[in-house]
Amino acid sequence: MTSGPDPSPGGPLAGLLVADFSRILAGPYSTMLLADLGAEVVKVEGPGGDDTRTWQPPVREGVSTYYLGVNRNKRSVALDLKDAGDVALAQELARRADVLVENFKPGGLARFGLDYDAVAATNPGVVYASISGFGSGPGGASLPGYDLIVQAISGFMSLTGDPDGEPYRAGVALFDVMAGLHATIGVLSALNHRHETGRGQHVEVNLLSSALSGLVNQTSAFVAGGVVPFRMGNSHPSLFPYEPLPCADGELIVTAGNDGQFRRLCGVLGLPELVDDPRFRRNEDRTANRDELRPLLVEKLRTRSKMDWFREIIGAGVPCGPINTIDQGVAFAEEIGLDPVITAGEGDAAVPSIRNPITFSATEPGYRLPPPTLDEHGTEIRQWLAAPDDQERSA
């Protein structure tokens, strides 16, 4: 590819240029992951900037932490697509890019000559990823796609909350994140196809399809079993115990995913007689008779603190864990050596961030740049795009 304004980053995707025409969460999360792995990402923003710059509180030094969470390792250029000169620069960036990621409404970039067909006409090797709420078909293209709407429409909220209470959303934009991951998988797959054939392609991801896929056993219950799942609070439809159980000072998540784990749990709790009880011998028995089994387990668990039980039950090889706050979750990851917090950038501009979750034996992710201010790299990017591009693209 042609060297861009930041030709030096290492990593498994070093040498790839990503034109990021996305905003808010799904697209920026995807392009941040690509950037962590060495791709050079140019974030194209309108004159007002990414919407999440204004999504506050909370803030760090006046900047939205929402924006900071998904935009490290990128360079920002502000282009006004109502201006012919800026449109030409955007088209040139698209022509030079290995990957273009966008989440405009389907067809929204066509009037600027930035839709897939227009870009591929001058850049046939481009991997062009479109993220939408409900797909590009006639039924979904016009529908605005926010994560909360998809949580509702997909059926997810019907599964979340107390059985007799109201439906609840997840505490994070779950399907935006999931769609961003699916987009990343699609981009990497298409890049491999390009490596084999020399041809790019259009990759499409939508939040509703990501949601239905991500609901896994719940959507499978309907399409394969004809069962419509329903809210069960913190209970699991197919496993028991697999939920919070009260101890002397709070609740502990206890999960016995198979018969062996249940036997070990009974041993720790001093309830060996439950192992051969025909009501509880197999997982399907325990699930069917959970109302009889639960009080027997709770009676023992209430005699000691949740952390006392946590150490003993984990020590016996049975998965369990306390219900933490976010700060406690980060602290636990630090305690077990996962080093979850990294610093993006250096000096006064450096920003604490959460580590990319992928580890490699030879090509680790990098965190060279903090999230950019609006148009922070505009001058150098504009100059680069205006200069002649004489190098041949290699697939």
Sorted by sequence, the CB contacts under 8 Å of residue 40 that are 6+ apart come out as: 4, 5, 6, 7, 9, 16, 17, 18, 75
Whether residue 291 lies in the annotated active site: no
Fold of 242-335: formyl-coa transferase, domain 3 (3.30.1540)
Strand partners, 353: 342
Stretch among 154-163, 302-311, 316-325, 386-395 having the lowest mean pLDDT? 386-395
Q: What percent of the chain has pLDDT over 90?
A: 95
Residue 318 is classified by DSSP as -
For the question of whether the overall pTM of this predicted structure is more than 0.85, the answer is yes
Find the mean pLDDT for residues 85-103.
98
Q: Which CATH class is domain 17-215+342-386?
A: alpha beta
In the chain, where does the domain assigned CATH 3.30.1540.10 lie?
242-335
CA 267 from centroid of its chain's CA atoms: 38
Sorted by sequence, the CB contacts under 8 Å of residue 123 that are 6+ apart come out as: 94, 95, 96, 97, 200, 393
Instruction: Tell me the backbone φ, ψ of residue 141, rounded to 5 degrees.
Output: -60, -35
Pick the catalytic residue from 6, 20, 98, 176: 176
Q: What is the pLDDT of residues 235-293, one digit of tens each?
A: 999 999 999 999 999 999 999 999 999 999 999 999 999 999 999 999 999 999 999 99
Which stretches within the chain are classed as H helix?
26-36, 65-68, 84-96, 116-122, 147-153, 174-197, 207-214, 216-225, 259-269, 283-288, 290-301, 306-315, 326-335, 378-386
Q: What is the pLDDT of residues 137-165, one digit of tens each?
A: 999 999 988 999 999 999 999 999 999 99
1 pLDDT exceeds 50?
Answer: no
